[in-house]
Structure 1
């Protein structure tokens, strides 16, 4: 009887170990990525087809804000995320004590100035209201675009940390309205103009090449500085999952999809 119990026990342990290894193996081939719905999750769905050929399953979790994807990655609920540029990630790390890094740039979304109550730059007059993103790096980026258009002048020392307080010349007394990036497209009926991030413009059915009256140019410093990246936890930049994900995202299939689908609203950086 004791021998029978021992055999059963050993068998149960062996089955448990076998099952555990199987689950671990499956987990090693599943990549969980957090992303903004447009265009990031859409691009990832194409990358998923490439990853499938490599034996990986890509699980995409969509987020509609700029905070939770990083917190969820830090807490190890994700393997990576895809929604932000490097200046935003670096600022987020400083403010939140996270240790996230870039695994590489994938695409660039030109920031555009979209018409609200007024339809052209020539119509900008005294007291024109322009809405811009209120998060640190995108706010500075929007202000730099307005400076490039000759509408304001910023303190040259402000750089990528510029806020409306750093405006040193404002000849047309432009009123800067700071809003959550996700709310900018909805604000268009209530403001004269709005500077909108590429992904939120796309979600609102806007195309930077067709609908914006001004934009960042693809050969500008902004294109390199604000390219959207894959973020991972520090030390996992060269993990098998990260390498597989980056290879898939930089494939010809994904590049063709980006160019044909977004027609200039999203520009591949590879």
Structure 2
């Protein structure tokens, strides 16, 4: 009988230890990012592992299309690098189903130059570098329209192309290139329209170094950056937990410090840098 109870006790201890082991098992999530700076995600790596047993693997890409394709084929579990309008345009073009889980930041696009200090100094026939993909290129053209340099066909909405320019009084010459080349092209063009994170990776602070910066307005919403997952994973509790930890004041503070106020949190209730609004 004593032997029986001893074996029973050993079995119970083994079950308890197994249960504890299951409780402590980490959940691994691969997150796709673009660019080198990821202070907020490095912070989340630590806090999520400590508090939720969620282990984040940060997978860094060099252009915006790569994380969309990686999410679609299952190479990553989510990405946090893209505007919603860009993601939707690739979804439509390729038949993909990347889906917004939640919003992160608005990263205003800027006009940069190594040759002039103001758009007032831009000469006729100047060369202008813009991204060559549909959504970022269109965004660049709309920014130049806001700056008073060109006009585009209003019927094209948020997606005009160079062929939709209806007024170009300075006869600007457009050079379309990959988004990750627009900063490198600064030595070869008069002005370059550069995505916020590409400018930051190149060592610029958009709020300080851009000669014209995209204004923040209600029309900015298509350019909100998102955390995206596969279409059938929007109710995944682990992914929702990651979003919840992202959309906090602590992360907002890290973003503000990292970007010198150039990147603006846009989730509900997010603290705003001075002079901005959702």
TM-score under structure 1 length normalisation: 0.87
- The aligned counterpart of 1:231 is 228
Residues 158 and 24 of structure 1, relative CA distance in 2, 3 Å threshold: farther
Provide the secondary structure at the position in 2 that maps to 1:157: helix
Correspondence 1:108 to 2:96: no
Q: 1:141: which partner in 2? A: 139
TM-score of the two chains, using structure 2 as the length reference: 0.84
Deviating above 4 A after TM superposition, structure 1's stretches of 4 or more consecutive aligned residues are: 22-27
Q: CA deviation at 1:37?
A: 2.7
CA distance in 1 between counterparts of 2:105 and 2:92 reads 24
- Please report the RMSD computed on the Cα atoms of aligned residues, expressed in angstroms: 1.8
Q: Deviations over 1:161-194 (max 9, x none)?
A: 2111000011110111111100011100110000
- Secondary structure, counterpart of 1:235 in structure 2: helix
The offset of 1:239, in angstroms, is 0.5
- Which aligned pairs between 1:10-159 and structure 2 lie closer than 5 A? 26=25, 29-39=27-37, 41-52=38-49, 53-159=51-157
**Does the Cα contact within 8 Å between 2:33 and 2:60 map onto a contact in 1?**
yes
Shift, 1:261, TM fit: 2.1
2-structure distance, mates of 1:261, 1:47: 15
For residues 154 and 253 of structure 1, the distance between their equivalents in structure 2, rounded to whole angstroms, comes to 40
How many aligned positions are there?
A: 247
Question: How many angstroms does 1:43 deviate by?
Answer: 2.1
Q: 2: distance between equivalents of 1:24 and 1:30?
A: 14
**2:247 paired residue among 238, 246, 250:** 250
The structure whose RCO (Cα within 8 Å, separation 6+) is larger is: 1
